[in-house]
Amino acid sequence: MAMQYSRRQMLGNLKVAGAAGGLMALGVVGGSRAADNSSQLRKQDVRYQDQPKGNQRCEGCKNFVGPSACRVVQGSVNPNGWCLLFQGKTA
């Protein structure tokens, strides 16, 4: 079952992805440790949820910092959670 997004949702998603890409380019996020909260994105801005989306879950994302932190998202995250910025770990 395919999810359908409105034009407004798609544009919002592009804005979040662009902001995250800009922060990564500046070296604000994506380092070897979790960044401080002032340089991270809010959970609501990346549509964070405490449950996985299919097989995608925080613990399988390259931005996850165990046991419950993220390089990109502010605050504590559930290892079984998910957000729009999920990027699977490479083997």
Domain assignment present for 16: yes
Tens-place pLDDT, residues 32-68 = 444 456 789 999 999 999 999 999 999 999 999 999 9
Domain assignment present for 54: yes
Domain assignment present for 38: yes
Domain assignment present for 1: no
Average pLDDT over residues 67-85: 96
Domain count, the chain: 1
Q: CA–CA separation, 25 vs 78, rounded Å? A: 26
Q: CA–CA separation, 84 vs 62, rounded Å? A: 13
Q: How confident is the model at residue 31 (pLDDT cuts 50, 70, 90)?
A: very low
Give me the numbers of helices (H) and strands (E) for the chain, helices first please: 1, 2
Domain assignment present for 20: yes
Host domain of residue 25:
7-70
Q: Looking at the predicted structure, is the pLDDT value of residue 28 above 70?
A: no
pTM confidence score: 0.60
User: Residue 61: its pLDDT value, please?
Assistant: 97
